[in-house]
Chain A
Amino acid sequence: MSTRKERMSYNIKRFLNFLKIFLHNKRGLIGLLIIAFFVIWAVGAPLITPYNEWGEDPNNPDRYLAAPAFAVENSGAPSWLRHIPPILGGIPTLSENMYIIDEPGHPKLVENGGEWNLSIPDTASEAISIDPDSPEDWDGSTAPGSLAIKFSRENQKMKNVKVTLYKDFYFPYSGPPGLYEGFISLLVVGKTNDTGYLYVPVYVNVFMERLADQKKYDLWPPFGKVPHAGKKWVESDFIAPGFTLNKTIVDPEAVEKGGFGGNGTVYIAKSQSGKFNGTGEYKTGWIISKGGKDAKRTHIDPTFYTDTRPDQWGSPPQVIRTLFKKTPGWYRYGVEIVFLDSSDEKEVETTVYIGDFDMWLLGTCFGVLGVDQFGRDLFAQLVYGTRISLYVGLLTAVVGVAIGLLVGLAAGYLGKAVDEILMRFSDMLMVLPGLPLLIVLSQILSPSVETLILILGLLGWMGFARTVRSQVLSLRERPFIEAAKAVGAGKGHIIFRHVLPNVMGLVYVSLATSVPGAIVAEASLSFLGFADPTKMSWGKMMFYAQRSIRDLRNWWWIVPPGLCIALLALAFILLGFALDEVLNPKLRLRR
């Protein structure tokens, strides 16, 4: 009897020998390299991409990474397509994400080391005073403090005084952005009359302007005026398309009373520019002031917001595309604050505090493979999708081969009735159409990945069982089995110690060659939408692609997952062939 150590060294030697032969097989090596590549993807996915399984930013899963596919023409495309000539299918008019504001937070003026300019009319220079770093703040702001613009006068009425806070920027892309997303927080404080109306109301208008021809588009608010405000932060229930007003402050009282339009729901602005969560509807009406205990909700006089400007309020892509028609060029982003001084009251005073003021132009292209219809990174989905495919493929192969091995050994060695029953049963299973059966079962059982693996394994052992059986049938007649029998070895001993080692070569080959079928089956089921809904896979990527693209224009969404499935399947087939050649030398001549 050999010692354990000796056996070990023999096994290592044998393995090295096998490796030496195997590495000489070109096809097997290619297959192995491809598999290794995908294994690296599967294991190292969190290192390869900063996004999660669904292609979302894990820190901010509700946010678009770029303008989603179909928001505008060609949106959701991969970045590199921008640099390819149109003849080769490139799209030079794509734009990338652009943060207009370097330091979101409360706007800092240029003279204070910031990026914002402030224009004040000469006639009103005495009435306007600036506090660049006011401590007034709202709880959810990204940077503490705010910029305060105070209007005060004693006797002389001044009519309208317009103060503009703006930043100029250069838009370098030759096509328009896909969407925009911005926000502003405002607090309007001032002297009010007995009913809570300001003596000097303000008009606030966030705008984007093309400097070349001074074409200007208003972004917020759509109905123009915020004439009345109580003591605290102004909040708008209505926001312009694509424009987010910081709305983390919600008046609980108002919600309870069923305010905000009457049905008690609060429109959270985020869903407008973030992901559409099924409740995103535009509500008209309320602009609400809100504050401490004695905060008053002030309703805007309906006459104030009748002047909707339909020419400027299309869907967000329309607005932004019209404005950015002549690109590249210089643009201005800012807010106009108009103090509407028409009161006869003496010694009036109104202060506007501007907190977080930001603007982000979402590009029409992103990343390596672009984004899907929810603005999620497709490359991350592709990388993470490897996991499901490998998991299902390998595990199914193990289950199927194990069953096939047992059935094949039993049928081949025991023979007679056992053989007949097992083989007839496998013939029956072979007739079953796999995918239709999977579809039926997925509607009846819960469609989890593990269930799928089990079903695929139970349906995929027949071919291998036949191969093992025929091999065992010929092994049974060999002299060494006869010798074992003569010595008095039992059936179990002969099967597992003498027959099994001789069919192990087939096992390894079959392990490799039954993976592709499982991978494709899982992908097919996902593609039809019957697979585990909680997991992202290559098949599901194509399910979404097919769902949302009628004419399949976004080829960068469809091609990669299919190619990955094909490559991985092909790699396992090649590996199987190579193993077959190395482990079953009889076959070497044939191929």
Chain B
Amino acid sequence: MGLRMYIMKRIVYTFILIMFVITLNFIIFLMMPGDPTQLFINPTGRLDPEEMERQLKALREMYGLGDPPHIRYIKAARSLLTWNFGDSIVSGQSVAGEMLRRLPYSVFLLGTSVALSIAIGIVLGALAAYKRGSTYDTVTLGASLFLYSVPIFWLGMIFIYIFSTVLGWLPSSHARPEWAQGVPIPFTTGSSVTATSLNAEFVIAPGFTEFVHGYLLHATLPLITLVVFQYGGYMLLTRAVMLEALTEDYVITARAKGVPERTVLFRHALKNASLPLITNIALGFAGIFSGAVITETIFTYPGVGRWIYEAAVTRDYNVLMPVFYVIALAVIIANFIADLVYGIIDPRIKYE
């Protein structure tokens, strides 16, 4: 089996996973008590009858409620696959557009935090495995175990208390500094270039560096929270995998050859241990997304995770479903990427 075959297989499998999530979404949708449109339409009592009628019609059309279940399923799958999510019940805005506005925040927050915590976790874990039984090992292991069991929302609140309330160093909420509140979120595509985004140029006046600085400052606390929460798991994982690798014959051979310890540790042992590491890291992605939802909620960070919370609070089912789908999709894609990396690194796949 060559690499190409392997990748093809993963793509097919990934597509099956996506269909599974869409099916699950559909089933949950069917499970809702009563006529789904009753829940959809006007849960907040804010719409006028005309608007209600319009939405009802749009909904019925979108979900094809008059159709038999299999046709409805196909329609629902098509609308999700084609990124055609409809409008929010509460705000009336396009879900897809809002999604594009929020995704960059989540991708940035999660991507950075996962990269940082994997790096920290691997280094600390490898060292702990190397110095097994020492004070360093005991302390880092204890700390990691503790941070691993601490609920992330608690960690976030403690950080807010320390860095925001007591020290006053970092902002505890939102993603943008106050002077940029009117500015649309950057990286937005196409349609949302409006008057507000034109004004933005004046608001951005403080200078690009300050602008970035403001955003980074606001992302710091959620980032720290996520990293502190995540690194423990990676560290424990690396330590366990490395303990095994360090007892292998090739490590003994390398040492006998007189290879420097650092090289043995990172070149010989870690490189070989990275395969099970990647598998396990990929398996943990779903859990990380759960943590991200809570972190974004606590810090009122305007990402997708915060959105699912807001949609649930306002009972905006029209948002809840696509957002859940997109989060699941993100996990699937992350898994797919991990699979690809695995395929590229693993020589058994590469050269066979």
- A and B bind: yes
Q: Which residues 231-282 of B sit at the A interface, judged by CB distance below 8 A?
A: 240, 243-244
The answer to the question of A20 belonging to the interface, with a C-beta cut-off of 8 Å to chain B, is no
- Scan B311-325; emit 1 where CB is below 8 A from any A CB, else 0: 011010100110110
Query: Cβ of B20: which chain A residues have Cβ within 8 Å of it?
Result: 428
Q: Which residues 407-446 of A sit at the B interface, judged by CB distance below 8 A?
A: 427-428, 430-437, 439-445
Query: Cβ of A573: which chain B residues have Cβ within 8 Å of it?
Result: 145, 148-149
Q: Is the CB of B289 within 8 A of A591?
A: no
The stretch among A337-345, A482-490, A549-557 that forms the contact with chain B is: A549-557
Q: Which residues 315-338 of B sit at the A interface, judged by CB distance below 8 A?
A: 315, 317, 320-321, 323-324, 327-328, 331-332, 335
Query: Cβ of A463: which chain B residues have Cβ within 8 Å of it?
Result: 283
CB distance from A467 to the nearest CB of B (A): 13
The answer to the question of B96 belonging to the interface, with a C-beta cut-off of 8 Å to chain A, is no
CB distance from B290 to the nearest CB of A (A): 3
Contact pick for B158, options A434, A443, A559, CB 8 Å: A559
Cα A539 to Cα B297 with chains together (Å): 15
Query: Cβ of B305: which chain A residues have Cβ within 8 Å of it?
Result: 436
Q: Which residues 80-107 of B sit at the A interface, judged by CB distance below 8 A?
A: none
Cα A552 to Cα B287 with chains together (Å): 27
The stretch among A137-145, A155-163, A306-314, A562-570 that forms the contact with chain B is: A562-570
Q: Is the CB of A440 within 8 A of B312?
A: yes
Q: Is the CB of B149 within 8 A of A430?
A: no
The answer to the question of A61 belonging to the interface, with a C-beta cut-off of 8 Å to chain B, is no
Query: Cβ of A445: which chain B residues have Cβ within 8 Å of it?
Result: 31
Residues of chain B at interface, number, CB under 8 A:
56
Contact pick for B157, options A430, A552, A567, CB 8 Å: A552
Query: Cβ of B221: which chain A residues have Cβ within 8 Å of it?
Result: none
CB distance from B155 to the nearest CB of A (A): 8
Query: Cβ of A435: which chain B residues have Cβ within 8 Å of it?
Result: 289-291, 293-294
Q: Is the CB of B17 within 8 A of A558?
A: no
Q: Is the CB of B293 within 8 A of A542?
A: no
Cα A183 to Cα B77 with chains together (Å): 66
Contact pick for A570, options B146, B283, B332, CB 8 Å: B146
Q: Is the CB of B153 within 8 A of A542?
A: yes
Contact pick for B161, options A431, A542, A555, A590, CB 8 Å: A555
The answer to the question of B41 belonging to the interface, with a C-beta cut-off of 8 Å to chain A, is no
Contact pick for B289, options A436, A546, A574, CB 8 Å: A436
Contact pick for B294, options A442, A527, A551, A566, CB 8 Å: A527
Q: Is the CB of A436 within 8 A of B324?
A: yes
The answer to the question of A186 belonging to the interface, with a C-beta cut-off of 8 Å to chain B, is no
Contact pick for B150, options A442, A530, A558, A562, CB 8 Å: A562
CB distance from B245 to the nearest CB of A (A): 12
Q: Is the CB of B28 within 8 A of A566?
A: no
The answer to the question of A250 belonging to the interface, with a C-beta cut-off of 8 Å to chain B, is no
Query: Cβ of A92: which chain B residues have Cβ within 8 Å of it?
Result: none
Q: Which residues 140-184 of B sit at the A interface, judged by CB distance below 8 A?
A: 145-146, 148-155, 157-158, 160-161, 164-165, 172
Q: How large is the interface on A (under 10, 10 to 19, 20 to 34, 35 or more residues)?
A: 35 or more
The answer to the question of B224 belonging to the interface, with a C-beta cut-off of 8 Å to chain A, is no
CB distance from B312 to the nearest CB of A (A): 5
The answer to the question of B32 belonging to the interface, with a C-beta cut-off of 8 Å to chain A, is yes
Q: Is the CB of A528 within 8 A of B297?
A: yes
**Which residue, B153, B312, B324, has most C-beta atoms of chain A within 10 A?**
B153
Q: Is the CB of A565 within 8 A of B151?
A: yes
Query: Cβ of A528: which chain B residues have Cβ within 8 Å of it?
Result: 294, 297, 309, 312
Q: Is the CB of A440 within 8 A of B324?
A: yes
The answer to the question of A520 belonging to the interface, with a C-beta cut-off of 8 Å to chain B, is yes
Contact pick for B328, options A431, A530, A542, A563, CB 8 Å: A431
Q: Is the CB of B286 within 8 A of A430?
A: yes
Q: Is the CB of A431 within 8 A of B332?
A: yes
CB distance from B258 to the nearest CB of A (A): 27
Closest to B291 in A: A435
Cα A561 to Cα B150 with chains together (Å): 11
- Known pairs A428-B20, A431-B332, A566-B149; A439 contacts B283 (CB<8 A): no
Contact pick for A439, options B21, B148, B312, CB 8 Å: B312
The answer to the question of B308 belonging to the interface, with a C-beta cut-off of 8 Å to chain A, is yes
Q: Is the CB of A558 within 8 A of B165?
A: no
CB distance from B41 to the nearest CB of A (A): 16
Q: Is the CB of A546 within 8 A of B286?
A: no
Q: Classify the interface of chain A: helix, strand, loop or mixed.
A: helix
CB distance from B194 to the nearest CB of A (A): 30
Contact pick for B151, options A432, A551, A566, CB 8 Å: A566
Query: Cβ of B327: which chain A residues have Cβ within 8 Å of it?
Result: 433, 436
Q: Classify the interface of chain B: helix, strand, loop or mixed.
A: helix
The answer to the question of B24 belonging to the interface, with a C-beta cut-off of 8 Å to chain A, is yes
The answer to the question of A516 belonging to the interface, with a C-beta cut-off of 8 Å to chain B, is yes
Cα A410 to Cα B115 with chains together (Å): 38
The answer to the question of A280 belonging to the interface, with a C-beta cut-off of 8 Å to chain B, is no
Q: Is the CB of A440 within 8 A of B28?
A: yes
The answer to the question of B298 belonging to the interface, with a C-beta cut-off of 8 Å to chain A, is yes
CB distance from A196 to the nearest CB of B (A): 50
CB distance from A80 to the nearest CB of B (A): 19
Q: Is the CB of B32 within 8 A of A444?
A: yes
CB distance from B281 to the nearest CB of A (A): 13
Query: Cβ of B33: which chain A residues have Cβ within 8 Å of it?
Result: 444
The answer to the question of A392 belonging to the interface, with a C-beta cut-off of 8 Å to chain B, is no
Query: Cβ of A567: which chain B residues have Cβ within 8 Å of it?
Result: 149
Q: Is the CB of A444 within 8 A of B28?
A: yes
Query: Cβ of B155: which chain A residues have Cβ within 8 Å of it?
Result: 562
The answer to the question of A104 belonging to the interface, with a C-beta cut-off of 8 Å to chain B, is no
- Known pairs A436-B308, A443-B315; A520 contacts B149 (CB<8 A): yes
Query: Cβ of B150: which chain A residues have Cβ within 8 Å of it?
Result: 562, 565-566, 569
Q: Is the CB of A432 within 8 A of B286?
A: yes
Cα A433 to Cα B106 with chains together (Å): 15
CB distance from A204 to the nearest CB of B (A): 46
Query: Cβ of B244: which chain A residues have Cβ within 8 Å of it?
Result: 590
Q: Is the CB of A432 within 8 A of B328?
A: yes
Cα A127 to Cα B313 with chains together (Å): 68
Q: Is the CB of B154 within 8 A of A433?
A: no
Closest to A551 in B: B165
Contact pick for B165, options A434, A553, A563, A565, CB 8 Å: A553
CB distance from B153 to the nearest CB of A (A): 5
Closest to A466 in B: B283
Query: Cβ of A524: which chain B residues have Cβ within 8 Å of it?
Result: 151-153, 290, 294
Closest to B290 in A: A435
Q: Is the CB of B328 within 8 A of A433?
A: yes
The answer to the question of A69 belonging to the interface, with a C-beta cut-off of 8 Å to chain B, is no
Query: Cβ of A542: which chain B residues have Cβ within 8 Å of it?
Result: 153-154, 157
Cα A556 to Cα B126 with chains together (Å): 37
The answer to the question of A529 belonging to the interface, with a C-beta cut-off of 8 Å to chain B, is yes
CB distance from B154 to the nearest CB of A (A): 3
CB distance from A552 to the nearest CB of B (A): 5
CB distance from A531 to the nearest CB of B (A): 12
Cα A529 to Cα B297 with chains together (Å): 12
The answer to the question of A397 belonging to the interface, with a C-beta cut-off of 8 Å to chain B, is no
- Scan A498-532; emit 1 where CB is below 8 A from any B CB, else 0: 00000000000000000010001101100111100
CB distance from B293 to the nearest CB of A (A): 5
Cα A80 to Cα B321 with chains together (Å): 49
Query: Cβ of B148: which chain A residues have Cβ within 8 Å of it?
Result: 573
Closest to B148 in A: A573
- Known pairs A431-B328, A432-B286, A591-B243; A569 contacts B293 (CB<8 A): no
A-B contact pairs, 26 of them (CB 8 A): A427-B17, A431-B328, A433-B327, A433-B331, A435-B291, A440-B28, A440-B308, A444-B33, A463-B283, A516-B149, A523-B151, A523-B153, A528-B297, A528-B312, A551-B164, A551-B172, A552-B160, A552-B164, A553-B165, A562-B150, A562-B157, A565-B154, A566-B146, A570-B149, A573-B148, A590-B244
Which B residues form the contact surface with A (CB < 8 A)?
16-17, 20-21, 24, 28, 31-33, 145-146, 148-155, 157-158, 160-161, 164-165, 172, 240, 243-244, 283, 285-287, 289-291, 293-294, 297-298, 305, 308-309, 312-313, 315, 317, 320-321, 323-324, 327-328, 331-332, 335
Q: Which 9 A-B pairs have the closest CB atoms?
A: A562-B154, A435-B290, A569-B149, A433-B289, A566-B150, A570-B149, A552-B161, A551-B165, A428-B20
